[in-house]
Structure 1
Amino acid sequence: MSETILFDYWRSSASYRVRIALNLKGVAYRAVATDLVTGQQKASDYVARNPQGLVPMLQIDGHDLTQSLAIIDYLDATRPDPQLIPADPAARAATLSRAMIIIADIHPVNNLRMLKYLKAEMGQDQAAVDQWYRHWIAEGYAALEQLAPETGLFGGDQPDLVDVCLVPQMANARRFDLDLAPYPKLVRIDAQLRAIPAFAAAHPDAVKPA
């Protein structure tokens, strides 16, 4: 079987999601650091395989897979233990809708490309960029907090896709000093998840290049 390779950036929340999923499923992989700050993701050989020039990209089973949700969905289909996205149609829709609050609503407007554009092209200073970042997390979290369970994880006794997406987003929220007091359920779930070895091993501090 060919080697599984993850092209990632240590601080990328999308890469962080995939690291968690790989760890939960016990998939051994080799990480290839792809520095978004210095533009390694725009190298011609990388873009030839990943035209968007983004991370993560997972080389697995002879495929070059991109986009974190698509990668996790592939892992769930080919390595279903543990299952992160339910098979039941209604449960699957509910899980995807919660995860998409982070994947589709919060993250895209707060990724590094967007922040660089706000500063370089729109002339915003760091304080304005930070305010922008916190605003969009808070807007998404207001809904996600209402949808969070009173006890246990989003996945119940075991993590699901929403849990996998939540932990990287919470790390970003803390990095940009978002007041988390209005989201006690999310804070509780995040703490439970970060105590799980598969989540702890995927943390940016654990994978940051020396």
Structure 2
Amino acid sequence: MKLLSFFNSSASYRVRIALGLKGIEYQTEGVNIRIGEQQQLAYRRLNPTGLVPTLIDDQGDAHGQSLAIIDWLDRQYPAQPLIPADGAARDKVLEIACVIACDIHPINNMRVLRYLTDELKISETQKNQWYAHWIAQGMGAVEQLLKRSSGRFCVGDTPTLADCCLIPQMANALRMNCDLSSYPRCLAVWEACQGLPAFIAAAPENQTDKIPA
């Protein structure tokens, strides 16, 4: 199995965590999205969106979109499930994951930030204000959701898809110097995850394709 990813991509980070939690061995191939490698024809043939990550399974089939990849992994490798099969826990996991992956991340990812600066010509200060505004909006919602669901992790005491999404989003927010002190439940989950091998191995600073900022 091969994961085509970028070390600092939140979506790639999610899938690396999931693979680690499930104990699945895989190879990593870096795709440098800073210089547009994801737009090359060979990559677009695998993933028409031109986004990372792409997971190539043992049969050579390509899978895109991080949440869809993790759902596929859960069905193919049901040990250590990351999405509960049913009930309230499943609802909570998917709600938290979707707030992060669908509401927070898309409007703060690299291609949006580049459009703001390169095309709309906003300043670096304005870009950072944009980023911080949407982090505050989204993380405030996640903090309230965790009031209803969190134990040691986002939903109860076992890592799930929700944690696979939360940790990369928090890592990006910290990298952008966002103040996360208003989200104590999120920070508690962050601390719980930092000691787990799957999260350590998946961290951007531990990737073979890491490049300077």
TM-score, with length taken from structure 1: 0.95
Q: Structure 1, residues 79-106: CA drift from partner, whole Å, max 9, x if none?
A: 0121110111443222111111100000
- Partner residue, 1:165: 165
Change (3 A) 1:56 1:115: same
Q: How many residues in Structure 1 have an aligned counterpart in Structure 2?
A: 207
Structure 2 counterpart of 1:50, from 47, 50, 61: 47
Matched, 1:201 2:201: yes
Other structure's SS at 1:31 match = strand
Change (3 A) 1:158 1:150: closer
- Partner residue, 2:81: 83
Other structure's SS at 2:107 match = coil
Q: How does 1:120-159 map to 2 (within 5 A)?
A: 120-148=118-146, 149=149, 151-159=151-159
Code of the residue aligned with 2:110 in structure 1: it is L
Structure 1: give runs of 5+ residues left out of the alignment: none
Q: In 2, distance between residues paired with 1:102 and 1:122?
A: 25
Conserved in 1, the CA contact under 8 Å of 2:6 and 2:209?
no
Conserved in 1, the CA contact under 8 Å of 2:139 and 2:183?
yes
- Partner residue, 2:27: 30
Q: In 1, distance between residues paired with 2:78 and 2:30?
A: 27
The alpha-carbon deviation at position 158 of structure 1 amounts to: 1.1
- Partner residue, 1:11: 8
Q: In 1, distance between residues paired with 2:150 and 2:79?
A: 26
Q: How does 1:76-115 map to 2 (within 5 A)?
A: 76-115=74-113
Q: In 1, distance between residues paired with 2:179 and 2:88?
A: 33
Q: In 2, distance between residues paired with 1:184 and 1:94?
A: 19
Q: In 1, distance between residues paired with 2:155 and 2:143?
A: 15
Change (3 A) 1:140 1:154: same
Structure 2: give runs of 5+ residues left out of the alignment: none
Other structure's SS at 2:3 match = strand
Q: In 1, distance between residues paired with 2:74 and 2:135?
A: 27
Q: In 2, distance between residues paired with 1:117 and 1:61?
A: 36
4+ residue segments displaced more than 3 Å = none
Q: In 2, distance between residues paired with 1:150 and 1:103?
A: 18
Other structure's SS at 2:134 match = helix
The alpha-carbon deviation at position 150 of structure 1 amounts to: 5.5
Q: In 2, distance between residues paired with 1:162 and 1:36?
A: 25
Q: In 2, distance between residues paired with 1:126 and 1:142?
A: 24
Conserved in 1, the CA contact under 8 Å of 2:92 and 2:155?
no
Please tell me the root mean square deviation across aligned C-alpha atoms, in Å.
1.2
Matched, 1:183 2:183: yes
Code of the residue aligned with 2:79 in structure 1: it is D
Identity %: 46
Other structure's SS at 1:7 match = strand
Q: In 2, distance between residues paired with 1:150 and 1:163?
A: 10
Other structure's SS at 1:70 match = helix
